Structures are given as C-alpha cells and as structure tokens.
C-alpha cells in the first residue's frame, strides 16, 4: 500500500548537501518533504502549535551543532508525537549504539550512513503507513469518546453492566430500576454508541 498523497517526510540535518540529496530522493519516489537545518528550527515549528493532520515521519540526524537530534527526540516524546510522527535516526557508525537505545525508547528505526537509498525509502514508506494507522486510530478514539460524552449518567451505568454481559433483570436489580427502564436505556446506549449488540459494545469499550 502506497503512502497517502499528502504524506510528508520532515528532514532535520545541519548538512545542506544531505538535506538536498534526501529531498531529491524523496521527490524521485513521489514523496513530499520539508527540510530544516537545525533541531531548533524544527522545534520552533512544534512550539508554533504544529499538530500532524496528515501522515508524516521525521528523518533526524543524531549529531548537530546546538540542540542534538537526541534532545529533539526527547521533546517529541514529551509532546507524545513519536508515534504519530515516527522518527528514523540518520547516524554514523559511532552513534549506532545510541540510535539503538533511541529505538528502544520509541524511535521507529535508524539508518547508518552511508545508507542504501532503496532501504531508506522502504523504511520511510513503512513509517508513513504507521503514522497513518496511528492517526486513524486516534481519530476513531476521539469519535468514540464523543459518543460516550453524549450518554447520561444512568445510561453509563446501564452500559457498563450491559458490557459485562448481564441480562436486563439483573441490571434492573443492581440499579434498583424497572426492567422496562433498563430496556429503554439499553436501546439509547446502543443507538448513541452505534452498536447492535452487547458483544460489540464490550469490544468498543475495550478498545477505548
């Protein structure tokens, strides 16, 4: 599956030659890119309220003057952006152990310089697919949380017991209400949560 047409690869490297070469490589594979000459420049974009609205990933040099790629990665983790914007570190041989540690902390991958163009693009495309999946999951979670917010307190009470598989009679006994009232609330919960069964409701709540 090809990345979305609006997917963007951010490139942060202090070497203009590297930035230009990577941008050219991505253009040749019909991938959009945006380049930054320093970690500080990229962080300024984050501080401006940047919130990824399309699939994206970050090619990040480990060693740069001023703020290092590692320090910038820490800031991404603080903002919980490392999943929605997967990070691929670009590293020299001496920095491989450090890059491996970053992968353990949530970076997507690392590519050692000099890297294979095909191998790098393969990982970039995989990172963009991951970004798309994470964004889709977050959007779906937001929709579900909105549906939950539409429930009344009593509907929430009924929903929790329905999701546990309790029959209407036991729910009525536990909540000290009539079976008919349980049936009404149950129907409203199914309607608002857009499900058709208790099993579907339970699966939905588990995903949340």
Q: Where are the beta strands (DSSP E) in the chain?
A: 8-12, 32-36, 56-61, 87-91, 109-112
Domain segments of the chain as ranges: 8-142, 150-203
- Structural contact between residues 21 and 11, judged by C-beta atoms closer than 8 angstroms: no
Structure-token pair, residue 43: 């962080």
pLDDT digits (tens, 9 = 90+) for 39-95: 999 999 988 888 888 999 999 999 999 999 999 999 999 999 999 999 999 988 777
Task: Count the Cβ atoms, other than its own, within 10 Å of residue 156.
Answer: 12
Indicate the fold that domain 8-142 takes in CATH.
Rossmann fold (3.40.50)
Comparing 8-142 with 150-203, is the CATH topology the same?
Answer: no
Q: Quote the pTM value.
A: 0.75
Within 13 Å of residue 152, how many CA atoms lie on the same side as its CB? 8
- Structural contact between residues 136 and 148, judged by C-beta atoms closer than 8 angstroms: no
Whether the pLDDT of residue 5 is over 70: the answer is: no
Q: Which of 1-10, 97-106, 162-171 has the lowest mean pLDDT?
A: 1-10
User: Which numeric CATH code is attached to 150-203?
Assistant: 1.10.10.10
Q: In the prediction, which pLDDT does 4 show? A: 65
How sure is the predictor about 125, in pLDDT bands with cuts at 50, 70 and 90?
A: very high
């Amino acid at each position: 599956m090809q990345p979305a047409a609006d997917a963007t690869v951010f490139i942060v490297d202090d070497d203009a030659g590297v930035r230009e070469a990577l941008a050219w490589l991505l253009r040749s594979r019909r991938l959009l890119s945006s380049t930054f000459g320093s970690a500080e420049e990229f962080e300024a974009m984050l501080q401006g309220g940047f919130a990824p609205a399309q699939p994206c990933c970050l090619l990040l040099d480990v060693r740069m003057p001023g703020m290092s790629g590692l320090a910038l990665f820490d800031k991404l983790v603080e903002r919980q952006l490392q999943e929605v914007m997967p990070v691929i570190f670009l590293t020299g041989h001496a920095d491989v152990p450090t890059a491996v540690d970053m992968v353990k902390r949530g970076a997507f991958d690392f590519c050692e310089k000099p890297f294979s163009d095909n191998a790098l693009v393969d990982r970039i495309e995989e990172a963009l697919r991951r970004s798309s999946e994470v964004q889709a999951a977050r959007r779906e979670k937001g929709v579900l949380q909105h549906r939950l917010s539409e429930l009344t307190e009593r509907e929430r009470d009924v929903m929790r017991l329905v999701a546990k598989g309790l029959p209407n009679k036991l729910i009525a006994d536990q909540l000290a209400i009539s079976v008919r009232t349980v049936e009404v609330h149950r129907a409203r919960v199914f309607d608002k949560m857009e499900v058709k069964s208790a099993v579907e409701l339970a699966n939905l709540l588990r995903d949340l």
